């Protein structure tokens, strides 16, 4: 090995010396050859930079001019500009107003028009314009009236910022005043100008400056220029230079600016002197004329440092760098040659190892391919199992709900007949058992949807009071039967109007409260509702705390509490029943809503469940869909809403409609106001208010015995059906739901106030469905019998077909129906195909008939599909008789509206 290294070392030394010497020679050549070129390049570069600085300065002048011109255009294009509009426009034109600058608007007015102009100026609301007057300022005195020149006066109308003294606004500027010749030159020519450079003036400005003078010309009369005023704007000269990139200029150059009067401004010295160009070098480094509005200046630019010295130092550094680089390259060549043979040996070894690795990699690829095939097969089997599971659950739900419809339907119908106490009790137990079975089915379906990730949360407006009413209506009877105490408390900080999935919120409470009542035999159950701030300004955490005095749980039982299909122990299931899914569903729903469920419990003492969910606050009370609406005359509105934010929003919109509004957060104060003054045209009020509910307010209003009770309009996020139920004996004009469109609010209030035949909305339910014509498509004879019995009891006219084919054949012969009740799964032609045929029919009397789907399919995808193909509503089996009655009544009324 040693013998092999000696020639390698000798060759590397020779090659290294050759490379080093060659590098030094090239560096020396380029140093001398480029030295002179570098100086000329640096000279040209500085010249180019100086030229660019001149362009920057010209651009700064132009930008300053266009800012002043834009203010002049504002006055030229407007009949009148108020002081507030003037200041607002300046703030837009100058996002950061330059210190020491002033912009004034001079009015050029014929003496015959002077009184008219003074009236407009005094009409400004600002204090300084109340006693605005035109005056001559002579010997520090005000002289009235102002003396005219050529039958015109010129005076400052507006200025920004505030004037330096009380003798500024309204002061008449005559041709013989100091600035008069410049102003009247622009007045005569109607062309803008920039004045020559000026030294600081007394206490007005402390730096050299110049002035923009721009005419305000109105071209609207006979296409002739009509001068109405001037824009006068002073500006520091140094502002022009600070507008360009300071880092790119002040470190390299000195600037000398000359005007036509021999004034010289030096920058960055910022001095103004009387001089001439002879003061500088005979051949300046760079000079250029500056073309300004109505004027022409000249600028000279000189570099601050010696160009030749800088270039030599730069090239010397390059020379040293070239030598070092040559040494480094030579050293690298030496090392490269020395390592060449070693690398050859290592490459041979690595090649052999790589060949072995390739063989092993091929074997691993073959194994991975086999594993991937098995994995894909397993995934496909899992997906197939999930599809089979979903289809099984959907079919199971449909098959169970179909006979349940018969059980529940006939139970509800039997309870409407004359029965003794024992029969009523037995039927109630049948109904409870059926509802329990429905709960089990719904729990299994909900858990399946959550587990598969197919559950979708809605974001609809709802009121927390609806949720409280739902809880009371669901559990009050059960609480009473068990002899328990039950209390719901609502914290004062809870925002009542919210955005979220009210069905899922109710489901969480349903699970928590049903468990609390189930496992509590004595004592009480309480629900506390509070609200907490969240990390997002538009969201809040709604917190439900359910406490009970029931059997409680041990620590070991708490660890299994939220697992699916489990309860505290097997004896719990045997004693109390249940699938063990309720709390698991509740837990997962809270997590989907950005929250969680926590529990504390003690055996034989009780449990406390805390559910926390994130919801949006519904501050959208009014939707602005039309901003041009105005009442035909001003109306007076009494506005009541315990939500101060909502009250303010509605009040502002009513004022925009030209209404007079008295607003109250307290219904009691509003009653006192009405008693003292009954001159209101309409009352607009919320419904759920903690101090006094809406029905209490209307009853007390009714008891006051007013000569004329104003019409009442309800604007609330509370459920309209509940409001109608609570106001069966009270007359209200209409119920509007938050958020409400502006046009709908306007039309409702207009109808309430201006319509002679003011039709009040009555919440009293019609006694039956008498005269309503219903076509029923249902293949199940039991379901058909239930619907037939319901329609007979309600005095409705029903016609019954067994499938979709019979339905469309019958409609071709007789289409005089108000509503169609359509089953989905039917032989020959199903409900979906029949609906497609109806909605695509050429006869609008057939295509517009409302269709209500009656089906045991309750998955959201199914419901969305039914509505998307033209069905108006969906009703799940088992049927709720009262809900079916309401659907038929509502859509029959819609049908009659379309027909009329």
Q: Which residues contact 857 (CB under 8 A, 6 or more apart)?
A: 394, 397, 398, 824, 825, 863
Burial label for 304, CB within 10 Å (0-12, 13-18, 19+), is: exposed
pLDDT for 244: 65
Q: Residue 771: which region, alpha, beta or left (left: phi > 0; alpha: psi -120 to 50)? A: left
pLDDT for 568: 46
CATH at residue 542:
3.30.565.10
pLDDT over 90 at 585, yes or no: no
Q: What pairing do the DSSP bridges indicate for beta strands 497-500 and 606-617?
A: antiparallel
Q: Residue 795: which region, alpha, beta or left (left: phi > 0; alpha: psi -120 to 50)? A: left
CATH at residue 690:
3.40.50.2300
Structural domain boundaries, residue 891: 773-899
Specify the higher pLDDT residue, 573 or 586: 586
pLDDT over 70 at 566, yes or no: no
pLDDT for 439: 63
pLDDT for 291: 83
Q: Which of 736, 762, 788 is the last residue of a domain?
A: 762
pLDDT over 90 at 773, yes or no: yes
Confidence of residue 316 (pLDDT cuts 50, 70, 90): low
pLDDT over 50 at 1, yes or no: no
The span from the CA of 29 to the CA of 315, in Å, is 12
Indicate whether 692 belongs to any domain: yes
- Of 736, 713, 744, 738, which Cα lies nearest the Cα of 625? 744
The span from the CA of 643 to the CA of 682, in Å, is 20
Q: What are the backbone angles phi and psi of residue 770, rounded to the nearest 5°?
A: -55, 130
Range among 575-579, 762-766, 777-781 with highest mean pLDDT value: 777-781
In terms of domains, do 603 and 635 share one?
A: no
Which tokens belong to 65? Answer: 């001019």
In terms of domains, do 741 and 727 share one?
A: yes
Confidence of residue 762 (pLDDT cuts 50, 70, 90): very low
pLDDT over 90 at 95, yes or no: no
pLDDT for 718: 75
Domain count across the chain: 4
Give the tens place of pLDDT for each residue, 335-372: 776 677 567 667 778 888 888 888 888 888 888 887 88
In terms of domains, do 612 and 492 share one?
A: yes
Please give the mean pLDDT across all residues of the chain: 80
Confidence of residue 610 (pLDDT cuts 50, 70, 90): very high
Range among 91-100, 220-229, 553-562 with highest mean pLDDT value: 91-100
pLDDT for 20: 73
% of the chain surpassing 70 pLDDT: 79
Which range is least confidently modeled, 546-550, 722-726, 732-736, 888-892? 722-726
In terms of domains, do 757 and 792 share one?
A: no
Confidence of residue 898 (pLDDT cuts 50, 70, 90): very low
Give how far Cα 742 sits from Cα of 499, 635, 652, 745, 747, Å. Answer: 20, 16, 12, 5, 9
Confidence of residue 518 (pLDDT cuts 50, 70, 90): confident
Indicate whether 636 belongs to any domain: yes
Average pLDDT over residues 214-240: 81
Indicate whether 658 belongs to any domain: yes
Average pLDDT over residues 2-12: 53
| 881 close to 409: Cβ distance less than 8 angstroms | yes
pLDDT over 90 at 833, yes or no: yes
The span from the CA of 449 to the CA of 456, in Å, is 9
Which range is least confidently modeled, 182-191, 413-422, 499-508, 731-740? 413-422
In terms of domains, do 570 and 636 share one?
A: no
CATH at residue 420:
1.10.287.130
pLDDT for 229: 93
The span from the CA of 33 to the CA of 427, in Å, is 113
Specify the higher pLDDT residue, 597 or 318: 597
Q: What are the backbone angles phi and psi of residue 300, rounded to the nearest 5°?
A: -120, 135
In terms of domains, do 397 and 472 share one?
A: no
Which range is least confidently modeled, 123-127, 383-387, 649-653, 892-896? 383-387
pLDDT over 70 at 260, yes or no: yes
pLDDT for 569: 47
pLDDT for 575: 46
Average pLDDT over residues 208-234: 82
3 state SS for 352-385: HHHHHHHHHHHHHHHHHHHHHHHHHHHHHHHHHH
Confidence of residue 609 (pLDDT cuts 50, 70, 90): very high
Range among 34-38, 94-98, 431-435, 466-470 with highest mean pLDDT value: 94-98
Indicate whether 592 belongs to any domain: yes
In terms of domains, do 641 and 728 share one?
A: yes
| 272 close to 263: Cβ distance less than 8 angstroms | yes
- Determine the distance from the C-alpha atom of residue 361 to the mean position of all C-alpha atoms in its chain, rounded to a whole number: 54
In terms of domains, do 817 and 868 share one?
A: yes
Specify the higher pLDDT residue, 224 or 358: 358
Average pLDDT over residues 309-321: 61
Whose tokens are 């608007």? That residue is: 105
Give the tens place of pLDDT for each residue, 779-814: 988 888 888 888 888 889 999 999 999 999 999 999
In terms of domains, do 646 and 680 share one?
A: yes
- Of 720, 732, 728, which Cα lies nearest the Cα of 688? 720
In terms of domains, do 434 and 545 share one?
A: no
Indicate whether 144 belongs to any domain: no
pTM for this structure? 0.44
Indicate whether 149 belongs to any domain: no
Range among 84-88, 167-171, 402-406, 731-735 with highest mean pLDDT value: 84-88
Question: In sequence order, what DSSP letters do the residues of 234-260 get, joined into one string?
Answer: EEEHHHHHHTS-HHHHTTTEEEEEE-T
Which tokens belong to 68? Answer: 């002043």
Q: Which of 571, 596, 617 is the last residue of a domain?
A: 617
In terms of domains, do 490 and 591 share one?
A: yes
The span from the CA of 156 to the CA of 170, in Å, is 5
Which tokens belong to 794? Answer: 């309600």
Give the tens place of pLDDT for each residue, 265-304: 988 888 888 876 555 556 788 888 888 888 888 888 888 8
- Rg, Å, the chain Cα set: 45
pLDDT for 441: 67
Give the tens place of pLDDT for each residue, 398-412: 566 667 666 776 676
pLDDT for 370: 79
pLDDT over 70 at 456, yes or no: yes
In terms of domains, do 689 and 811 share one?
A: no
Q: Which of 413, 434, 455 is the last residue of a domain?
A: 455
What letter does residue 198 receive in the DSSP assignment? Answer: B
Indicate whether 133 belongs to any domain: no
Give how far Cα 332 sits from Cα of 151, 234, 325, Å. Answer: 92, 67, 10
Indicate whether 108 belongs to any domain: no
Beta strands across the sheet bearing 635-640: 659-664, 635-640, 682-685, 712-716, 734-737
Specify the higher pLDDT residue, 544 or 721: 544
């Amino acid at each position: 090995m040693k013998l092999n290294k000696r020639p390698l070392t000798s060759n590397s030394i020779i090659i290294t010396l050759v490379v080093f010497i060659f590098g030094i020679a090239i560096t020396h050549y380029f140093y001398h050859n480029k030295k002179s070129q570098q100086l000329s390049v640096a000279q040209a570069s500085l010249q180019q930079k100086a030229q660019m600085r001149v362009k920057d300065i010209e651009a700064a002048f132009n930008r300053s001019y266009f800012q002043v011109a834009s203010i002049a255009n504002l006055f030229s294009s407007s009949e009148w500009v108020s002081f507030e509009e003037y200041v607002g426009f300046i703030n837009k034109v100058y996002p950061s107003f330059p210190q020491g600058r002033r912009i004034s608007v001079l009015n050029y007015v014929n003496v015959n028009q002077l009184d008219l102009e003074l009236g407009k100026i005094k009409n400004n609301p600002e204090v300084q314009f109340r006693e605005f007057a035109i005056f001559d300022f002579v010997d520090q005195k005000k002289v009235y009236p102002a003396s005219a020149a050529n039958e015109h006066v010129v005076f400052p109308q507006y200025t920004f910022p505030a004037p330096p003294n009380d003798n500024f606004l309204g002061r008449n500027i005559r041709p013989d005043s100091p600035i008069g010749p410049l102003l009247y030159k622009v007045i005569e020519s109607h062309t803008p100008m920039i004045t020559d450079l000026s030294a600081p003036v007394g206490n007005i400005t402390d730096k050299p400056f110049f002035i923009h003078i721009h005419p305000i010309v109105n071209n609207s009369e006979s296409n002739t220029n009509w001068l109405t005023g001037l824009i006068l704007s002073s500006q520091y000269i140094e502002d022009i230079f600070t507008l360009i990139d300071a880092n790119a200029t002040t470190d390299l150059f000195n600037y000398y600016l000359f005007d036509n009067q021999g004034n010289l401004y030096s920058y960055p010295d910022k001095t103004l002197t009387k001089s001439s160009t002879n003061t500088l070098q005979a051949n300046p480094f760079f000079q250029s004329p500056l073309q300004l509005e109505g004027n022409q200046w000249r600028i000279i630019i000189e570099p601050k440092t010696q160009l030749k010295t800088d270039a030599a130092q730069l090239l010397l550094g390059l020379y040293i760098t070239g030598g070092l680089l040559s040494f480094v390259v030579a050293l690298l060549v030496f090392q490269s040659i020395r390592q060449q043979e070693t690398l050859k040996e290592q490459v041979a070894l690595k090649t052999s190892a790589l060949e072995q690795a390739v063989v092993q990699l091929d074997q691993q690829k073959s194994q991975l391919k086999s594993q991937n095939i098995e994995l894909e097969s397993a995934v496909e089997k899992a997906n197939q199992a999930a599809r089979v599971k979903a289809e099984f659950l959907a079919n199971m739900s449909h098959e169970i709900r179909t006979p349940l419809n018969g059980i529940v339907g006939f139970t509800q119908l039997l309870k409407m007949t004359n029965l003794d106490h024992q029969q009523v009790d037995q039927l109630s137990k049948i109904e409870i058992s059926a509802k329990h079975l429905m709960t089990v089915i719904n729990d299994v379906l909900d858990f399946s949807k959550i587990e598969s990730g197919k559950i979708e949360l809605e974001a609809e407006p709802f009121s927390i009071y609806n949720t409280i009413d739902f809880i009371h209506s669901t559990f009050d009877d059960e609480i009473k039967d068990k002899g328990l105490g039950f209390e719901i408390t609502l914290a004062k900080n809870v925002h009542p109007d919210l955005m979220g999935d009210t069905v899922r919120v109710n489901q969480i409470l349903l699970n928590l409260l049903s468990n609390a009542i189930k496992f509590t035999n004595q004592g009480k159950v309480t629900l506390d509702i509070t609200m907490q701030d969240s990390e997002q300004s538009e969201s809040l955490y709604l917190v439900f705390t359910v406490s009970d005095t029931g059997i409680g749980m041990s620590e070991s039982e708490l660890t299994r509490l939220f697992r699916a299909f489990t309860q505290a122990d097997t004896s719990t299931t045997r004693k109390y029943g249940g699938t063990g899914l309720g709390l698991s569903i509740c837990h997962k729903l809270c997590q989907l809503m950005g929250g969680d469920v926590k529990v504390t419990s003690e055996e034989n003492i009780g449990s406390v469940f805390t559910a926390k969910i994130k919801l949006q606050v519904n501050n959208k009370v009014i939707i602005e869909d039309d901003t041009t609406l105005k009442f035909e005359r001003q109306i007076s509105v009494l506005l009541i809403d315990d939500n101060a934010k909502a009250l303010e929003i509605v009040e502002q919109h009513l004022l925009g409609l030209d209404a007079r509004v008295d607003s109250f957060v307290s219904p009691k104060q509003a009653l006192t106001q009405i008693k003292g003054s009954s001159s209101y045209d309409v009352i607009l009020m919320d419904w759920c208010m903690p101090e006094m509910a809406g029905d209490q307010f209307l009853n007390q209003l009714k008891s006051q015995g007013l000569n004329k009770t104003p019409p009442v309009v309800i604007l609330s996020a509370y459920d309209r059906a509940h409001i109608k139920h609570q106001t069966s004996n009270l007359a209200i004009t209409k119920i509007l739901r938050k958020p409400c469109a502006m046009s709908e609010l306007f039309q409702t209030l207009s109808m309430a106030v201006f319509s002679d035949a003011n039709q009040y909305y009555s919440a009293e339910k019609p006694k039956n469905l008498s005269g309503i014509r219903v076509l029923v498509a249902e293949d199940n004879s039991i379901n058909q019998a239930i619907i037939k019995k319901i329609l007979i009891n309600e005095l409705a006219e029903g016609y019954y077909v067994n499938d979709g084919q019979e339905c469309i054949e019958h409609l071709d012969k007789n289409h005089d129906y108000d509503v169609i009740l359509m089953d989905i799964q039917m032989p020959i032609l199903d409900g979906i195909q029949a609906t497609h045929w109806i909605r695509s029919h050429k006869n609008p009397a057939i295509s517009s008939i409302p269709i209500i789907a009656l089906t045991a399919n309750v998955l959201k995808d199914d419901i969305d599909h039914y509505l998307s193909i033209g069905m108006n509503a969906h009703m799940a089996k088992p049927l709720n008789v009262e809900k079916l009655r309401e659907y038929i009544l509502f859509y029959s009324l819609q049908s009659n509206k379309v027909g009329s």
